[in-house]
């Protein structure tokens, strides 16, 4: 026990723009010993955690992919909720450079009544190892976005999952970082025919080439802008032109079991 990722819950598969169907980003990774990792904490994520029937106070590690609001705005709410529940153990927050400063400003300047209310450890990460013990490890890899953005890899003895923050595709080296992952969670913000030329978000065609090179078993699409609505089949078809693995269009509160996905 404790040497396997058992399931992944997609808490939010949308973006900043409000949607009736897609919450702002957040992913929960569950190990078979009950360990929980929360990746990103966008607006509404705390309520999504409740909808998923998960006890938020059991989450000890939060990993932020990048510091845009749709990925961070419920962090303060989560800290306050833990305080109100009487949390005594440390809540660990990891994120790109600036995460520590963001938390210091939030909890000491903007909302000083929350400063020190729970044990809080905040770490600015660099590419490479992030945190590990004898049952699991987490490492990160830099992506291409308007701000510093990371992909995180959770590895156990039995399997591994990669969660990407916002990024342009392809990213040199990502296929190596995600090599043979059982599950890769990656954005597709716009369909191929959408007029968006900035190199900070992903379209399906180049992503298909990238994940095929990585040998990923299952690709989960998330962070979908309204332009993707109604074009899900087109997006999958475009990816499958190059990628031979399974493609899942992520939906809020979708639970992905890794029981049959292993090295």
Q: Which residue, 230, 240, 225, is CA-closest to 189?
A: 225
Query: Which stretch of DSSP H or E encloses residue 45?
Result: helix 45-51
Strand 36-39 to strand 26-31: parallel, antiparallel, or no bridges (unpaired)? antiparallel
In the chain, DSSP assigns E strands to: 5-12, 26-31, 36-39, 61-63, 91-95, 120-124, 128-132, 137-142, 150-155, 160-164, 183-187, 218-222, 246-249, 254-257
First to last CA, the chain: 17
Radius of gyration of the chain measured on its C-alpha atoms: 17
Strand 254-257 to strand 246-249: parallel, antiparallel, or no bridges (unpaired)? unpaired
Note if 70 is an active site residue.
Answer: yes
Q: Which candidate in 70, 74, 166, 182 is catalytic? A: 70
The catalytic residues are 70
């Amino acid at each position: 026990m404790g040497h396997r990722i058992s399931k992944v819950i997609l808490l939010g598969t949308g973006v900043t723009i409000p949607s009736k169907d897609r919450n702002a980003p957040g992913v929960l990774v569950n190990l078979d010993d009950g360990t929980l990792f929360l990746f990103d904490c966008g607006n509404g994520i705390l309520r999504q955690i409740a909808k998923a029937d998960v006890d938020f106070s059991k989450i000890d590690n939060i990993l932020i992919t990048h510091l845009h609001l749709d990925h961070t705005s419920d962090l303060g709410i989560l800290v306050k909720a833990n305080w109100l529940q009487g949390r005594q153990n440390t809540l660990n927050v990891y994120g790109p450079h600036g995460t520590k400063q963001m938390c210091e400003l939030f909890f000491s300047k903007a909302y000083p009544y929350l400063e020190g209310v729970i044990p809080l450890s905040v770490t600015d990460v660099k590419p490479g190892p992030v945190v590990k013990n004898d049952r699991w490890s987490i490492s990160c890899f830099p992506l291409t976005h308007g701000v510093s953005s990371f992909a995180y890899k959770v590895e156990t003895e039995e399997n591994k999952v990669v969660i990407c923050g916002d990024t342009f595709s392809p990213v040199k080296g990502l296929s190596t970082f995600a090599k043979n992952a059982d599950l890769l969670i990656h954005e597709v913000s716009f369909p191929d025919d959408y007029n968006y030329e900035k190199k900070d978000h992903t379209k399906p065609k180049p992503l298909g080439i990238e994940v095929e090179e990585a040998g990923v078993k299952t690709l989960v699409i998330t962070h979908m802008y309204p332009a993707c609505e109604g074009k899900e089949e087109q997006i999958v078809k475009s990816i499958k032109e190059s990628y031979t693995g399974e493609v899942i269009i992520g939906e809020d509160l979708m639970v992905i079991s890794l029981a049959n996905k292993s090295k």
